[in-house]
Structure 1
């Protein structure tokens, strides 16, 4: 029973961190119709800055700088590379392909800088654990759940109670109507990209924290497990991204904890389990768990 509780807590922690990344996918898609495949490299950039700055600035200072710098980089990618002037929703598919090129460039440079090293981010939790009865949980997992919950609640508050959130929802519902009503689509879109970058940098801390060995050049690829979470929930649904992320996190943790019982599926099945769950869910609900069915005028 204690092993099951350990797996559930690990799954909730992973799902919470994946939710930060998945929300980045969702807000960018809602604002611009673009699927940002550079989200993993933005995460690695934020983690790398935290790792190289924490000796001089301390963990909190380094993380603050990394979050701000990653947000600015994400905004610059959108403003300088993906669009000129007013955003054109009809170019979203082309811009999505451009993000693949951005991801390759960023990953290549960051991989060169990191090399084969394992970088510590200087987080205050280290390898400390909390033991309650027969259940042992890493403090980093508890911190991941708490910090992610606060960050996600703040994002949902932005969606619900700020002018930007209202503009984002209006733009996602009908871009042309929102523009005619005075919504500044370019500003809405840039802030969405900045928010996605900030969330990615925050997620990097917990993906590199114990029991992970540290930040490495492949950490950004781990973040892409949040992509099936966003697809599962419905690409334009923030609640769906949260639900999908928790489902993916729990699936990954439970599969890893029972790998010996699932040996018939092959070693490393936990790495593909998120995508297997995505396929199974989409067979039943092609629009995702929270996706709305589109209406067609005939």
Structure 2
């Protein structure tokens, strides 16, 4: 029973961090219809900036700088490389392909800088752990759950109570109608990209924290595990991204914890488990857990 509770807490912590990344996928898709395959490289950029700046600025200062810079880089990518398709939904397909090229360029440069090193982000939790009854959990996991809950709550409030959130929801429903009603689509898109970049930079710190060995050049690939979470919940649904992320996090932690019992599925099954869950759910609900069925005119 103790082992199950350990896996459950680890799964919740992973799911909370995946939710930060998945929300980035969702908010960009809602604003522009673009699947941002450069999200992993933005995450790696945020983690790298935190790692190289924390000696001079301290952890809090380095994290704040990394969040701001990554947000600005993400916004610049939209303005400089993806600009021009704001009023043409068909351009989203081309822009999605462009993000693959952006990801290759950013990852190549960051991998060259990191090399084979394991970088510390200087987080204050270190390798300390806390006992919660019979369960021992890393402080970094508890911090991930707490911080992610606060940030996700703030993002949901942003969607619900701000003019930008209303504009984002309007644009996701009908891009042309939103433009005719005076919604500034360019600003909505750019702010969506900035928000996604900021969330990715924050997630990088927890993905590199204990029990992970540190930030490495492959850390950005972890963002790919949040992609099925976004698909699973419904690509345009923030609540779906949260639910999908928690499901993916729990699945990954439980499969890793009970790998010996699941050996018949192969030693590397934990790596593909998120995608297996995504496929199984989509077989039942092709639009995702929270995806809306579109009306078809005949």
Offset of residue 86 of structure 1: 4.5
Contact persistence 1:87–1:186 (CA under 8 A): no
Kept in 1, the 8 Å contact 2:85–2:92? The answer is no
What secondary structure does 1:259 align onto? coil
Shift of 1:134: 2.1
1:237 and 2:242 aligned: no
Match in the other structure for 1:120: 120
Task: Give the match's secondary structure for 1:14.
Answer: helix
Q: Distance in 1 between matches of 2:218 and 2:244?
A: 23
Q: CA deviation at 1:23?
A: 0.2
Q: Partner residue of 1:130?
A: 130
Give the Cα–Cα distance (whole angstroms) in 1 for the partners of residues 92 and 79 of structure 2: 14
Number of the residue aligned with 2:259: 259
Q: Deviations over 1:217-265 (max 9, x none)?
A: 0000011100000000000000000000000000000000000000000
Partner residue in 1 for 2:39: 39
Inter-partner Cα distance in structure 1 for 2:28 and 2:154:
17
What do residues 115-136 of structure 1 show as CA deviations (whole Å, max 9, x unaligned)? 0000000000000000123210
Q: Which runs of 5+ in 1 are unaligned?
A: none
| Residue in 1 that maps onto 2:228 | 228
- Could you report, residue by residue, the CA deviation over 1:153-194 in whole angstroms, capped at 9, with x for unpaired residues? 000000000000000000000111111110000000000000
Query: In the TM superposition, what are the counterparts of 1:77-226 in structure 2 within 5 Å?
Result: 77-84=77-84, 86-226=86-226
Give the Cα separation in 2 of the matches to 1:114 and 1:125: 23
| Cα distance in structure 2, aligned partners of 1:153 and 1:217 | 30
**Match for residue 13 of structure 1?**
13
Query: What SS does the aligned partner of 1:131 have?
Result: strand
CA distance in 2, matches of 1:247, 1:296: 31
Report the Cα distance in structure 1 between the residues aligned to 2:281 and 2:5, rounded to whole angstroms.
25
Q: Distance in 2 between matches of 1:132 and 1:240?
A: 30
Q: Distance in 2 between matches of 1:155 and 1:88?
A: 27
Counterpart CA distance in 1 for 2:39 and 2:222 is: 11
TM-score between the two structures when normalised by the length of structure 2: 0.99
Q: Which TM-score applies when normalising by structure 1? A: 0.99
Q: Secondary structure at the match of 2:261?
A: helix
Please identify runs of 4+ aligned residues in structure 1 that moved more than 4 A.
none
Residues of 1 paired with 2:173 and 2:250: CA distance?
32
CA distance in 2, matches of 1:37, 1:87: 21
